[in-house]
Structure 1
Amino acid sequence: MVFPLRAEIPDKVTTDVTFLSVFDPTAKQNLKNMETTVKNVFSLLKYTYGLVPIVAGLDKFTNILTDWSQYLSEGMIPMEAGTFMMIVGVIEIIAGALVLTKTKLGSLIVAAWLILIAITLLISWSYVDVAVRDLVMAIGAYSLYKLSDHA
């Protein structure tokens, strides 16, 4: 069963579903199920892109997960790697907190941050696998941004 869904025009969706429910009594329930799915995906992405940057940011101070300075190329920054990573950690913690509190803004910041990290890694042609992963994660953060209007 297929019915038109115009999520960007909520009144139109209601009208379409009301019209279709004459022909298909499950149309309203299908729309409700879709709305629930969107809300669940939104929540999953929100907590993922909120908590992961916070954890990674905190780890910049402890290096429990990894030695973060290994991702910096020699001469890339004009300060000690540990100091730079602590600054990065603070930025990541703020970005994660923004995703949790102001999701639309925070998700765009996290997406941009991930793209910048990926570009930096690609320029130095080191950790290309991490760069690709970060680009994919940026797509997920941008998806969260797009969903924030509908959840």
Structure 2
Amino acid sequence: MTIHLNRSRPPSGRAPTAADPAHQAFVLLRTVFTVAPIAFGLDKFTGLLADWPLFLAPWLDELVPGTAQQAMYAVGVVEVLAGVAVAVVPRFGGWLVAAWLGGIILNLLTIPGFHDVALRDFGLLVAAVALARLAVRYSPGARTDTAPRA
């Protein structure tokens, strides 16, 4: 069995279709990383899902101006923008979400009792990196040839 690591088309030579498992993974990840950041970002304003200021490390709360809730409003705006970035430019948005999750993980690791949440967020970070990598091949405007650039 030959494995082709640098192919932008399935081994059959056809363009990716809905039946292509890697394309399915891209669509699924793009959908989740569009909806979830927007939903969680909007919830920073409503607090229906969680008491978000509790997720801000005390040392960060002292560092940023305003209250922890006001910081969460800013976080909410960033998360909504990250979700929109994934929807519009997944090659960039995936990396943006991964970097954002890295910051969230560092924050959570400094709060006692939140290490399990940090571990789950690490799984999301890895998935966001997978999205960014798949977007190189499957996002609109992605190159579909394998010829080197001149």
Runs of 4+ in 1 over 6 A off after TM superposition: 31-35
- Please say which structure displays the higher CA radius of gyration: 1
Corresponding residue SS for 1:87: helix
Quote the residue 2:120 is aligned against: 133
Q: Unaligned stretches of 5+ in structure 1?
A: 18-27
**Is 2:56 the partner of 1:72?**
yes
1:35, CA displacement in angstroms? 6.9
Aligned residues: 135
Aligned residues with identical type, % of pairs = 31
**Is 2:105 the partner of 1:118?**
yes
Provide Cα deviations, 1:39-93, integer angstroms capped at 9, x if missing partner. Answer: 1110000010111000000000000011101112334223201110000000000
Supply the AA of the counterpart residue of 2:51: D
> After superposition, where does 1:2-151 map in structure 2 within 5 Å?
2=1, 4-10=2-8, 28=12, 36-77=20-61, 78=64, 79-151=66-138
The structure with the greater share of residues assigned to helix is 1
The separation in 1 between residues aligned to 2:83 and 2:71, in whole angstroms, is 18
Q: Unaligned stretches of 5+ in structure 2?
A: 139-150
Q: TM-score, normalised by structure 1?
A: 0.79
Question: Is residue 40–residue 76 contact of structure 2 (8 Å, CA) maintained in 1?
Answer: yes
